[in-house]
Amino acid sequence: MTVPLVLAELTIMTMLIMGVGMLASSALLRRKSESDTIPPDQTPGTKSTRGTPIPLVIGRRMVGPKIGWVGDRSTTQEKVGSVGKDIGGGEDITTTIYNEASWHQLACPSQVLNAIYANGKRIWQGPINSDSSPSGTVVDAKAHGSFTIYWGETDQPINEFLGHKTRLGIRSQWPLLCYVVWDKKRLGGSPQWENLEYDIESTCPSNALDNSEYLIDESPQIGVNPAHAMLQLHNAIWPLGAGLDADRMDDTTLEALGVTLEDEVMPCNLLIDGDTSEAVTADLMADFGFAMPQIGARLAYIAIRSSGTTPPNFSDDVLIPPSAEFDITHDERPATRIVFQYQKAPRFRTHDVTREDLSEQDRRGAIKRQIITLRTVTDRITTNRVGKRREGEILGDLSTIRLPAQRGARILVAGQQIVVDDIGTLRVVSSKRTQDRIAVELGCAIESYSVPEASDIDTGDDDPGVPGDSPAPADPDTDIAFTFFEVPPELAAGKVAVIVLRIRAHEGVAGAGIHVSADGGASYALAGDQNTAASGGTLRTALASGTNDEIASGPVFIPDNDDILNVLDLSSDTTSWQAGRQIASINGEIMFLKNLTIFDSAWNGWGTSATSWYRLDESSGATATDTNSVLNGVYAGTVGYSAASLLENGDTNTAIDMLGTGRMNVTYASPLTESSIWSLVMRIHMPSANSPGVVFSLDGSLYLKIIDAGPGGSPIFQLYDSAGTLGFGLGFGVEEFDDGNLTVVFVSEGGNSYRWYVGNSAGAKPEITASGAASFSETVLTVGALNAGGGADPFNGIIDEVLFFSGEAISHEDAKNMHRAAESSTANSYQLGPLLRAKYSTTQEAHAIGDQLYIADTSTLRPQLHPIIGPHINVCLKTRPYTNLDAVDLSAVTAVCKEIEGIGLAGPSDQFRVTTDGMVRVTSTGGQRIVT
């Protein structure tokens, strides 16, 4: 008999498991001397293969026996039938049956035997336990023979049967070994033994924590609390554990870990069969999410969880040179599907739970699978929870960062979170002191490993298909928009095919079923699935009809969702662009799209307490004529204030387009007085470089002019009076956003004075003060263009995100914080890049503001190329081909089309309709389910 754990002799062991650092001393791994644990008269059996580990079970698992001895074979003749009885006498037919004895070493001490299986078939059903059937009890296995059970106590009876000189010849108790001895096991007609397996349970409740239960029993989640299992592995005497002194373990953090895992219902069942202690501990840490750093002379047990509090922020005075160093893990084709395999109780056969990166699969048009074997869990619910955490190992950012730091950073340990400016949230992996012990080098990982609250994880029952056991699927959110059209012949490989473009509500919607109708929507038939989402949005500027096949800059649009990030940039692949690799569709007109350009960026939500405020929105209607003789020109539209809630996560209101105009006047919703306190904030999209600039006025008498120098230049600010005379120039400028946009703030703090602030993401905020310089107008805001002589110049820019706050003076810092800097923001709108028109429509059409835009990669619109992830829509339905207006002849199309014809479509000339339903992923199975 040998020890269950292969204990390696190490001094300090460092393990990196997705941002989890572990340090353990050599005492954790050191084997106890045999004189401390085995009585002198216990001589090892010579028939056993020396060095073969004996399994250690914590919880309930299936084990295959180690064969210590086989012998006493005998045969008997058994009657299986007869012949010749009908003609007198008859003759019996017999067969030889083999019987044999054997010593099966099962595991370290155990308490329960539930069942025995032979070649996967149960041949004996328990359970029996060490109380009801103490060591030395003979158990009847009926037709299969009988066996004697020994549980592994230190004082269990001496085995006289094995001790006989004709057998093993050693009289021993075989302490700490759970085993059975078969006496005349019936083998059947072959002398070969079946593959036997034993379902056993082993617990060690004497090594238990105080604040949580040793066992977790919420069927089907049944097993040992992993924190209690760690206590046994580290503290129990050899061979049940490493025998680490309790003073070397931090009981406070271990108790807290036990409570956390109990609250989350995360049981484990361990089968340790020749594994090193490093591997067992690593599995527990990775699967159940905790770090085990060494703090001083003790091991701590820190749960990796979302703390709910803000982690410490590393400021510049904590970080020291050299700069952070990144180690980036590169994989040419990382996995997009992770299969977590586990042994499911009670039969302990391999089952799978799958987690997928659907967006990456769609992008590649292929699936790459990776299998991860979980050795600690034995039910589907716990596997789902473990998989939700560990998917970050494959799908997340595996980069690690080395940070030189000082001061309070020296007390950080593995498992703790920190925030570093310009990098983000990190998880400490390791901490290495410098020789002078003034500084420390922290090893960190990108934080993608935290465990969400247990309530955020699907806890559907274990067996889908069994009434009451399968969780009800959630109703998917409705698609934002969808359309359909016939795929052009060049893209449909010569077939007549219909494609549906869907803009889904969010990335959690995995696909949709496509239904068609030929009776005006009275009834529908399912035509197929569409699992590849399109992107798109609402036009913010119009697109006129024309004759040019190529448009250098198309209309501006506001994206519907984050799928816009999947749009291809074909700037360096003109051939693919001209061949129709990517299409843009508006009102049925198909254009080939090369790329998108970010037009502007969104505002941040702002937590001001102001409740009385208004937002300026552009709307169609009467023309606002020039009412001030100083500024000429008109603004082709109307602008008014509307009360609304404060901006959150980016505003998508219609911008005020100042294209080709001179100025505009806006009347306030309520008059302002000279004693009013108010603030006006707006986002300025500057015109082209070296243009005359843009002018702002609040009182009709004093004007601020901004002259733009283009991206990379410094805008110049000048102040004019009502006659257009330059009062003074400001000899300074400010750095622009990377996209050339500025934030402008007007503030009045009462009286007849007000200030302008003009700033950017870098924080520069030159202040222009005008005090008592003009008569204050209560009603007019003027925005436009002005040349040095007072005449009009086109602004050709856009004023966006205009907010008026009543009763509150907003600082420039607050206003700047409303915007996301262009280099780190979510784009608020995009502009279609070069377009090729007149490809599959007879005429170019005009498209208005507010029309729906769809963008799709045509490589995903070919069902014959991507049968797994593609739209699956090659239904050849009746539609008007772009090549002519004749109806499709169904007699010449595929069998699929004929089948669709047979389920309800009328004559070939009939139009058809399309609707969609959502398809969502069911977390408990990792699959997809259609919801009607």
User: What secondary structure does DSSP assign to 809-845, as a single string?
Assistant: ---HHHHHHHBPPTTTSPEEEEEE-SEE-SSSSSS--
Model confidence at 466: pLDDT above 50: no
d(CA 436, CA 438) in angstroms, rounded, equals 5
Residue count (the chain):
932
Model confidence at 755: pLDDT above 50: no
Does 166 or 398 have the greater pLDDT score? 166
**CA neighbor of 185 nearest in space, from 71, 100, 106:** 100
The mean pLDDT value for 460-482 works out to: 52
- Kindly state the tokens that stand for 15: 């393990």
d(CA 23, CA 15) in angstroms, rounded, equals 7
Does 604 or 858 have the greater pLDDT score? 858
Give the pLDDT confidence score for residue 848 in this predicted structure: 86
**CA neighbor of 288 nearest in space, from 353, 177, 375:** 375
**CA neighbor of 513 nearest in space, from 530, 497, 501, 533:** 530
Identify the helix (H) or strand (E) that includes residue 288.
helix 277-288
In the chain, the amino acid numbered 849 is I
Domains of the chain: 13-79+93-202 (no CATH), 475-532+866-932 (no CATH), 538-601+826-847 (no CATH), 603-823 (2.60.120.200)
In the block, residue with structure tokens 């075989």: 174
pLDDT in tens, 243-252: 888 888 888 8
Give the pLDDT confidence score for residue 710 in this predicted structure: 46
Partners of 77 in beta bridges: 96
In the chain, the amino acid numbered 247 is D
Backbone angles phi, psi at 437, to 5 degrees: 60, 20
Model confidence at 777: pLDDT above 60: no
From 264-273, 762-771, 855-864, the region with the lowest mean pLDDT = 762-771
d(CA 785, CA 706) in angstroms, rounded, equals 9
Identify the helix (H) or strand (E) that includes residue 666.
strand 663-667
d(CA 932, CA 928) in angstroms, rounded, equals 13
The mean pLDDT value for 675-696 works out to: 52
Give the pLDDT confidence score for residue 378 in this predicted structure: 92
d(CA 142, CA 146) in angstroms, rounded, equals 7
In the block, residue with structure tokens 């039910």: 379
DSSP H helices, 83-172, are: 160-163
Does 557 or 44 have the greater pLDDT score? 557
| 928 φ/ψ sector (left φ>0, alpha ψ -120 to 50, else beta) | beta
pLDDT in tens, 337-350: 888 889 988 888 88
3 state SS of 343 = strand
Give the pLDDT confidence score for residue 399 in this predicted structure: 64
In the block, residue with structure tokens 């490989």: 493
d(CA 872, CA 531) in angstroms, rounded, equals 8
Does 254 or 520 have the greater pLDDT score? 254
Range ranked top by mean pLDDT from 85-89, 114-118, 476-480: 114-118
Does 706 or 480 have the greater pLDDT score? 480
Per cent of the chain over pLDDT 90 is 15
**Longest Cα–Cα distance in the chain:** 138
Whether 896 contacts 930, CB under 8 Å: no
d(CA 264, CA 397) in angstroms, rounded, equals 26
Model confidence at 900: pLDDT above 50: no
* pTM for the structure as a whole: 0.47
Angle at alpha carbon of residue 575, lines to 573 and 581, rounded to 5°: 85
Per-residue confidence band for 527, with pLDDT thresholds at 50, 70 and 90? low
CB-CB neighbours of 77 under 10 Å: 10
The mean pLDDT value for 243-266 works out to: 88
For the purposes of burial, counting CB atoms within 10 Å of the CB of 385, is it exposed (0-12), middle (13-18) or buried (19 or more)? buried
Name the DSSP class of 363. H
Q: 677 vs 170, 598, 612, CA distance in Å?
A: 100, 36, 12
pLDDT in tens, 168-205: 888 888 999 999 999 889 998 888 899 999 999 998 86
